[in-house]
A and B are shown apart, each in its own frame.
Chain A
Amino acid sequence: MCLGIPGRVVSRDQEDDLLMGRVDFGGVSRKVCLDHVPDVAIGDYVLVHVGFALSKIDPVEAQKIFDLLRELDQLGELDEAVEPLSFRGVPS
């Protein structure tokens, strides 16, 4: 919960006054608030804390953090995922 989970932005949707979007976390897609990373583009990687993107990060870093979180068994908060999408790998 305290560590951010990196994911890839797959959509940007303006909801009311909030910039939301869908972010893909190694095959699990979640709705995420993108309001504090306003210049983020589809395909960019973001570090997400409890459904809230706090910074953009590069794809290699994203993959490293994601692998480590998986190893530390720290991806549990994604368990409530609605439906898994097809896996979208990170270029390595």
Chain B
Amino acid sequence: MKRPSASEGRRLARHWASEIARISTRPWRIMEICGGQTQAIVKFGIDQLLPPQIELLHGPGCPVCVTPLEMVDRALSIAARPNVIFCSFGDMLRVPGSDGDLLQAKAQGADVRVLYSPLDALSIAQKNPDKSVVFFAIGFETTAPANAMAVHQAKRRGLRNFSALVSHVLTPPAITAILQDPAQQVQAFLGPGHVCSVMGTREYEPIAARYRVPIVVSGFEPLDLLEGVWRAVVQLEAGKHEVDNQYSRVVDAKGNPASQALLERVFEVCDRKWRGIGLLPKSGLRLKYEYREHDAMRVFEVEDIATQEPAACISGQVLRGIKKPTDCSAFGTTCNPEHPLGATMVSSEGACAAYHAYGRARIPAERLARGADGAAGGAA
């Protein structure tokens, strides 16, 4: 497969957009799940390139955004203790807890370190036997195998000073929760391409069948997203509801069986609170009892945490696709990436941060109407 040139990419993008317009007989609402897809859609103006009857709703697929406030507060509490080296992905550092964030904790003297990989925390634990090394293991199914491997190796190597604060979330229960929400009217989903490279596509089949909703696993390049929307509209117009795979160059139906086996070995499914959304049954992963010596939830006693979200923040509704970031009175004024009120403004994969980064503060109606002008310029 050859890479299209930039001009060829623009031509193909306009082709997909006009094909979508041609086959759409009525308005359709389609939600992308993955935060990377959200970011690409907003950056390349995919939503503006589409005909007005197709609305893209942004889903809860930003792992940093949905990590529950209680867990951030717990992380802050553990990080502040003496003899703790607290390790995290960089994206989590500025996520606001009830009182401050990890970056502020670091400024106040906590040993907070940003790691590329949880496996790097194992060597830190080996080199610092007198310290307790804690890794903040968050994310969807994409980061879960690496986190599981870190804990599994810690147990195997007897690294008793390593533990993980696990706050994993799963994609299928989030889709189910959105479909069960009476306020929500999503008619089709773009499935998360990289999540499915781990998990495969089969676990989405019961959801598509039960809720009669097309799920098109898509990549996150502009042309992938447009083709994913087109495939979803084809199904919607035909009254079909199947799992379709636009991203077969990277994703197959079975995913990575070795990773799935490791997840099964180390983690168990649990109920999980999602920031802004609430408690979703069977929507998370936690460590199994066999790994309790490496479970920061058990290693560290944390006093009762009372959390408080800023009243002005509507990130919960943004995460469920009920509101757009620009519907919020705080957007771009009291809430911005420098001073985020809610997590959707912190991570670049959050819808609010994407809207802010790509100049969606206030979009004049005439520019929206023009749509295709200059949109999808990077579609290559």
How many interface residues does A have (CB within 8 Å)? 41
Please, which residues of chain B bring their CB within 8 A of the CB of A47? 194, 197, 250
**What's the minimum C-beta distance from B297 to chain A, rounded to whole angstroms?**
21
Q: Is the CB of A49 within 8 A of B146?
A: yes
Bound: A65/B118 CA distance, A: 23
Question: Interface digits, B68-106 against A, CB 8 Å rule (1 contact, 0 not)?
Answer: 000000000000000000000111000000000000000
A83 contacts chain B at the CB level, 8 A cutoff: no
Residue of A18, A32, A68, A71 with most chain B CB atoms under a 10 A cut-off: A68
Chain A: which residue is nearest B113 at the CB level?
A80
Q: Which residues of chain B from 239 to 260 have a CB within 8 Å of any chain A CB?
A: 249-250, 256, 258-259
Q: Is the CB of B40 within 8 A of A49?
A: no
Asked, given contacts A49-B145, A54-B256, A76-B90, whether A68 binds B116 with beta carbons under 8 Å apart, the answer is no
Residue of A54, A57, A76 with most chain B CB atoms under a 10 A cut-off: A54
B55 contacts chain A at the CB level, 8 A cutoff: no
Bound: A76/B198 CA distance, A: 22
B107 contacts chain A at the CB level, 8 A cutoff: no
A50 contacts chain B at the CB level, 8 A cutoff: yes
Question: Interface digits, A51-92 against B, CB 8 Å rule (1 contact, 0 not)?
Answer: 110110110110111001001111011111100000000001
Residue of A47, A60, A72 with most chain B CB atoms under a 10 A cut-off: A72
**What's the minimum C-beta distance from A90 to chain B, rounded to whole angstroms?**
10
Q: Which of B3, B40, B64, B249 contacts A1 (CB 8 A)?
A: B64
Bound: A73/B91 CA distance, A: 13
Bound: A90/B121 CA distance, A: 31
Chain B: which residue is nearest A36 at the CB level?
B258
A41 contacts chain B at the CB level, 8 A cutoff: no
Asked, given contacts A1-B63, A4-B197, A47-B197, whether A80 binds B36 with beta carbons under 8 Å apart, the answer is no
Q: Which of B34, B116, B221 contacts A51 (CB 8 A)?
A: B116
Q: Is the CB of B40 within 8 A of A72?
A: yes
Bound: A2/B3 CA distance, A: 24
Q: Which of B35, B118, B156 contacts A50 (CB 8 A)?
A: B118
Question: Interface digits, A6-31 against B, CB 8 Å rule (1 contact, 0 not)?
Answer: 00000000001110000000000011
The 6 closest A-B pairs by CB, nearest first: A51-B117, A52-B146, A3-B36, A36-B258, A50-B146, A49-B142
Known: A57-B250, A63-B3. 17 other contacts (CB 8 A): A1-B63, A1-B142, A2-B62, A2-B139, A2-B142, A2-B195, A3-B220, A4-B197, A35-B149, A38-B258, A52-B146, A54-B142, A55-B250, A68-B40, A71-B378, A73-B348, A79-B90
